[in-house]
Every structure is written in C-alpha cells, then in structure tokens.
Amino acid sequence: MYYGAIEAGGTKFVCAISNDQLEIIERVSIPTTKPEETMEQVFAFFDQYSLHSIGIGSFGPIDVNKNSDTYGYITTTPKSGWKQFDFVGTVKQRYDIPVAWTTDVNAAAYGEYKKGNAQHSNSCIYLTVGTGIGGGAVVDGKIQQGYGHPEMGHLLVRPHPNDDYQGFCPYHQGCLEGLAAGPAIENRYNKKGQELEEVDEVWEMEAFYLAQALVNYTLILRPEKIILGGGVMKQKQLFPLIREEFANQMKQYVETPDLNQYIIDPGLGDNAGITGCLILATEVSES
C-alpha cells in the first residue's frame, strides 16, 4: 500500500508516492494549466498505484472549514480557471480513500516541523516568497487554522520611504505579497530578480518588507522558528539583511531566539511541501 501527495502550485503540481517509511518511490512535476488537463495527468500518475490515502497541499485561498458547503474547494484564486474548483471532491470521486487537505504553505510548515529545521521545536512559521507570498504556522504539533487558514502574504505593511510602487495584488494596495513577491521586484526595476543580484537597494528594500512582516508574525504568534523558502529566498544575501532589519524594527521589544537560529532557511529545501503532504496522508489514514 502506498501514500500519495499533491503539492499543488500555481505554476506546477508536484505529485509523489511513498511507502510506509515516507521514502519517495516516484514523483512527477505537472504544469498547472486548466483543471481538467492538470487533473487528467495527476490521475494518470496515481492510477498506477494502490493508494491508502492522499495528502494535498494547495495554492489558495482554499476552504478548510469542514462544516462549509465548499470545503475542499480552491475559492477566490486569481489563477485562471481554478476559482471555485472542487479539488477534494474531484479526487475523492476518483479514489474512495481518505484525503488530507490544507494549503501548500501549511504542508511545508508541517514538513519542516516534523522532518526539517523546526524539529524539536514546539512551533514554527513557514513563509514562501516567490511568485506570491504565503505562510503557514504549526503550534504544539497542530497546523493553525480557524474559520479559514491564515493568509500571511496579504498582511498590510507600511511602505518603504523610497518606494512609490503601489503593488500588484488585485485585492489590496500595500500588502506584503503585492510589494515583496517576485513580480513586485520585476515590476519596480523591469528586470528579473536574478539580474539584480548585485544591486544592494533591491534587497535592502525587500528585507525591509519581509522583516516588517516577520516582526508582526512574531508579535502575534511568538514562534520558535521562522523558516523562509521560495524562489526569492534563493538570494542568500537576503537572510542577513532580514535579520538586521528585523532587529532594527523590533527594537528589542520582545525577546526572540538568536536571530541566526530564528530566521532560517528550510532544512528540507524544495521538498518541504511534498514531505508535509506525505506526512498528512499517513496521519489521515490513521484517523
């Protein structure tokens, strides 16, 4: 018997199969196009295996409220074709097995908590900074959610004194995603982030926004670890800049762990999300 996992991103779906020891037997990457096209390829992959359960971590917003009529749906996403898509219902129609359902960043946070750089901690936040920004939190072993899941990327932030860019988010001006995700960098400078690696002001401004968000998360949740992943965070010069700016903005108001051990990269690298999905698949099969 095998466990399945789907890390559903706006650009690609990563699907994986593992055994009982969470060793990945096979994985594939599928472009995110229209739902019917993408899911056809997803099912073609999983149809090869006898599945015990599946864990899904999806881009959002999604409905995680089990009492809701739209539980299991991708809801108000700007991703063309995916708005109000019944993801869990579509999977369960194909496979009559337990399905764990959460956001892609919640899954990554859970993977890091169980198997990555937040092991032996009681709490962590995982923030991905790429084409968008999203975050998930784990506290005392549980993924945090209430009426819905956190939308950490849409936290409203103060503008940098030298920034006149209004942001690209279609829902809010002045949110973290609109001002600090990859497209914001590209829109400000008309170049990809990789082409701006040596331009200090780019990354100083980026650190200003990300540190501001981390201060807010810290004040609200007081996590033991904050893990930063995603394509933008491949610019490793960001980490010391964020730690320095975090200290400047926090002004020692509350105590935190040593910042070199507090604001860190993922121990699982790009596998945090898929690992979390597999762990959730094993757990939902036991419940």
Query: Which residue range is the domain that position 135 belongs to?
Result: 117-265
Torsion of CA 71, 76, 82, 87, to 10 degrees: -10
Same-domain pairing of 245 and 126: yes
**Its pTM surpasses 0.85:** yes
- Strand locations in 32-145 (E): 51-58, 73-74, 85-86, 99-103, 123-129, 133-139, 142-143
In a domain, 112, yes or no: no
Identify the burial level of 174 via C-beta atoms within 10 angstroms of its C-beta, where 0-12 means exposed, 13-18 middle and 19 or more buried: middle
In a domain, 29, yes or no: yes
pLDDT at 217 over 80: yes
Same-domain pairing of 96 and 155: no
In a domain, 109, yes or no: no
Same-domain pairing of 126 and 241: yes
Same-domain pairing of 162 and 248: yes
Q: Which amino acid would we find at residue 33?
A: T
Q: Which two tokens stand for residue 265?
A: 């990269």
Residues forming beta bridges with residue 128, ordered by sequence position: 134, 229
- CATH number, domain of 192, equals 3.30.420.40
For 147-183, write each residue's pLDDT tens digit: 889 999 999 999 999 999 999 998 898 999 999 999 9
- Cα–Cα dist 204/15, whole Å: 36
Same-domain pairing of 178 and 199: yes
Mean pLDDT of 103-126: 97
